[in-house]
Structure formats: C-alpha cells, structure tokens
Chain A
Amino acid sequence: MSVFEGFKFRKVSSVVHDLDPRIKFFFVSVLFVMAILFTKLLALTVLFFIPLPFVFMAKVNRQWLRSLRGAAFLAIFIFATNFIFGYFSPASFQGITPPVDTLVEYLVLLERAAAMTLRFVVLIASFSVFFLTTSPDHLGLALQQSRIPYEFCFAFTTAVRFVPVLADEAQTIMDAQKARGLELERGNLLKRVKNYIPILIPLIVNAIRRSLELAESMESRAWGASEKRTNLYELKLKRADYILVLISVLMLLLAVYVWLYVSIPSLTTLLSL
C-alpha cells in the first residue's frame, strides 16, 4: 500500500503547494512528454533530477521517497522484462548483431533496460510531487475552471479523496481475515493470488455500498439542482505561476531541439571510447 502513500496529500504550506494546480499539471505533463521523447539513459538521468528541487522546496522528501520505494517492485519488473525481451529479440537495437554474446552487447541491453526503468521512475517521481502538493479541493477547482463539466470534476476529486480511505479499509479487512487464520504469504503463486480474494471482495462490496450511500446523501442535499455553480474560491495565476510556465515552456523547447538536432550518446559508447 505504500505506493498510495506517495499520492496522499498532506496539508502543508510551501511555494510549491501554493502554485496553481493547472500550471503544476502543465509542468509535470512537460516532464511526461520529455520522458517519452528520450530513450537514452543519459537524458533520462537528467530528467530525474528536475523534480528534485520541488520535492525539497515542498518538504515532502519522506513521502516522496516512500512512493518511489513503493514503485520499486514494478520498476524491477519493468527492468527484467525489458532485459529479457531485448535478449530474445535484439534485432532492433543499435550496436547489437544478434545473437547477444559479447560484453558490449550485454551492456547495451542493460543500459536500455535501465533507461526504460528510469523512464517509469521519472513518471512516478514527477506525478507523485504533483499529488503530494495539490489538495483534492484545489484540483477540483482547477478542473472546474478548465471548463470540464462539474459531474466529471466531482467524480474525479471524490475518487482521489477516497484512495486513503480505501487503503485504511484494506488494512482493516486484512487484519480481520488474518484473525481468521488467513496467511497471505503462504503457498505457490496461484494460491497467493487466491489468498487475496477474501480481502478484495469485502473491499469492493464496501466501496460500492459507500458510493451508493454517497450518491443518496448528495442527492438529498440537492446535488445538481442549480445549472450554474459558482465557487467561493477562484484560482488566480500569481507571479510564481508565470515563472513556472516560462520554465516549462523553455524546458519543452530545449527538449524538442535536443531531440531533433543532438544525438545523445549512449553510456556504452562513451565508456568504450
């Protein structure tokens, strides 16, 4: 459940927390695009360092690290599959003449797998900063002011808000089933997957029940009665927001330029020089 921890908002005040969510989202989207543009380890390593100043400014280092640790399992999986698939179909790689047999060729494969893993880590790292520093309320407000229909905004913010609730509930259910002798880490792979059925069913049933209750209580408070909703708070762009837009746009332009005109060397070629 520790991946969830990295996406749980805590109310703190900092420059990063006070940024406009729309701008912050634009910034992480630029990071996202850059991570997709580049496939070289060197470039992705540089990308990894970009969200770091924001993590420190927002003082969310602990939670941010926890979300990275939570993603470790998936990262290892991505690394392994990339390496294995690369090994069996190496034809598409520059610098490899199949079959993979020399040290250099193995290094090329390893670097590629590492790059793909780092791409995933960059995505988690940047989106985690976004969610850690943006309150669900702010997010909802941002969606609404982007002219997205209120029903969708509400569904989205409610979903985000219920993630921690679901995580807590999953823990309680796990405890209740362990108290009835369920041992999650027992048996072969298939048995282990099956062990989660007694946890998933109550979790899903309760989630559905809760959503029905929520719908009833919302409707009894006249949800959707007025056509045009107004908000108590309005988001307004401040100076810091304009600066971040500028940074994001410059980053994007630079990235596109590098992508078009600069060929980034791979580590393996650099080292073998």
Chain B
Amino acid sequence: MIEVKDLYYTYPTGLEALKGISLTVNDGEFLAVMGQNGAGKTTLVKHFNGLLKPTKGEILVDGVSTRDVSVAQLARNVGFVFQNPDHQLFSETVEEEIVFALRNFGFEKAVIEKQVDWALNLLDVTQYRKTSPFMLSGGERKRVALASILAWDPQVIILDEPTIGQDHQQKEKLQQFILQLNAQKKTVIVVTHDVEFVAECSPRVILMSQGKIVVDGTAKKILTNPKVLAQASIVPPQITQIFLELADLGLPTDVIDVHEATKILLNRLRKRS
C-alpha cells in the first residue's frame, strides 16, 4: 500500500512541482495518473520508489517512510519503467540487460537464470537473448526495458507514459499485458495522457493539474466529464464525445467503451425497425 500524505515537492531550481498531494493506492489497484505536460505526474510517481524525497509531507510504502530507506531497497518492491528505454539500455546483450538489476539486488545465480528465462518469455523477446539491445526496434527496446524490470517481480509496477511512440499493434499488446499484470494482483500505476488507453483499461483515475489533484475517481466518471477534463487540457475519448453530442436524443452520456457504445446503438436501431 502506498500512502501519500500532504506531499509538497520543490525542485532545486525553486519550482514547486507538487502542492499538497494526498492519495492512497491499495495493493492490487490499477491507477492511471492523468494530466497535461508539466502537471507533476512524473514528479509524483518518482516519490513512490524514493527517487525524489518529499520537501514537505510524507510517503509511506507498506508502512515505511521513503525518507528512511534507499532507492535500491524501495525498488525491490516498486518497479519503475521509464518513459524512454534509451535512458537505461546499456548492455551488450538483451540477456545481460535483464541480469543487471537482478545482480544489483543480490539474487542467487540459479534464481537469476530462472528469472531471466521467465522475463524474456513474458515479453516475447527470447529470440533476442544474445542480440544487442541497440539493434532492436523501438517497440522491442521498450519490451526489453519492461522485461528488465519485471524480471525481479516487484509488487508495484509504475509505467511512465508507456504508450507514447508505440504503433497501434504494440499499444494493443502492451495494454493486454498491463491488464494481465493487474489481474495477477500486481499494483499497477500508469502515467499517461492517452484517453483511449484509459477508456479501454478502465482503471481508477487521478487527474492532476499544476501540482494538485483535481479529481480522483473511476475512469467512467472522469472521462465523461468534459468540464473537469478541460482543466487538465484533456479531451474525452471520441466515442464519449459522440454520446455527449447526441445527449438530446436520450442517449446515455457516460459511455467510454466502444463495445458498450455499439451495444447501446444496436439496441436503439433494433427498436426503431
């Protein structure tokens, strides 16, 4: 469980990036952190594994204040997948890349071998085991980066902007994968401003703007409220926009999912004919 208590953070440059954030993320929860660029999303989640320490306030991860433990200790339970895989890949082979963290955490050799096989398989990159990560495509590099973090099986997984720069097929795969993780009782925290992605995964959503949380609620509640979304410069999903515009026809205004929308429209059409 992650408890954020009245968190303030000011960067050394003097910029106050977080202004009084309070939030609890329960075990096994799926949370999306949304908001426009510069809202403070990355700054907030960097507190969850201790990369940043509160200027004021407190973060408790499983009851322990992040001030009292090192990043390496926190990272064992809280995996953080950075936005750009090129900020972490450095090894000669994909396999080495995955071993890196496991070795840092002091796993036994036999365990390392097992976990590497498992992670390679999980992200479908086994065929690149001996390939240099620099030779892979963008999507593959992203998957290797993910594998290198999931390999130590952290309980909490944070993903910063995972869908940026991915083609549709990769996005679809990634989405399935993230849902699967959450189904396995992992706590998943995704930083994103991809509304379609949030609409399809339907997690709990917090909307941030200028270092504060504007609203906290279900994806359905937040994505269908254009007024609230506008505060964070986010536009509702297209399907929601259609239903909002057709509200006069008596259509529901809280639709975010394409399948749900299809069903409602089909029913309508059937009734007519």
Instruction: Give the B-binding residues of A (Cβ under 8 A).
Output: 169, 172-173, 175-183, 197-198, 201-202, 205-206, 209
Contact = CB atoms under 8 A, between A and B. Distances in A.
Nearest to A200: B90
Nearest to A181: B104
Interface string B86-123: 11111000000000110011000000000000000000
Contacts of B87: 169, 172-173, 176, 202, 206
Contact of A178 (B71, B76, B84, B86): B71
A179 B75 contact: yes
7 tightest CB-CB pairs across the interface, nearest first? A181-B104, A201-B90, A180-B101, A179-B80, A176-B88, A176-B82, A176-B87
A172 B88 CA distance: 9
A182 B104 contact: yes
Given A172-B82, A202-B87, A205-B134, A180 B46 contact: no
B126 to A, nearest CB: 21
B209 interface: no
B90 A179 contact: no
10 contacts: A176-B82, A178-B51, A179-B80, A180-B104, A180-B149, A181-B104, A182-B72, A183-B70, A197-B90, A198-B88
Contacts of B76: 181
Task: Give the contact-size bracket for chain B.
Answer: 20 to 34
A180 B89 contact: no
Interface string B15-42: 0000000000000000000000000000
A175 B134 contact: no
A173 B89 CA distance: 9
A228 to B, nearest CB: 39
A178 B134 contact: no
A4 B184 CA distance: 46
B240 interface: no
B75 A175 contact: no
Contacts of A175: 46, 51, 82
Given A173-B87, A175-B46, A181 B82 contact: no
A183 B104 contact: yes
Contact of B90 (A178, A198, A209): A198
Given A173-B88, A181-B105, A183-B70, 9 more contacts: A173-B87, A178-B72, A179-B51, A179-B80, A180-B88, A181-B76, A182-B100, A205-B86, A205-B90
Contact of A198 (B80, B82, B100, B105): B100
Nearest to A172: B87
A167 to B, nearest CB: 12
A198 B86 CA distance: 11
A182 to B, nearest CB: 6
B165 to A, nearest CB: 14
B49 interface: yes
B66 interface: no
A6 to B, nearest CB: 14
A205 to B, nearest CB: 7
Given A175-B46, A175-B51, A181 B72 contact: yes
Nearest to B103: A181
A205 B46 CA distance: 24
B104 A202 contact: no
A206 B86 contact: yes
B224 interface: no
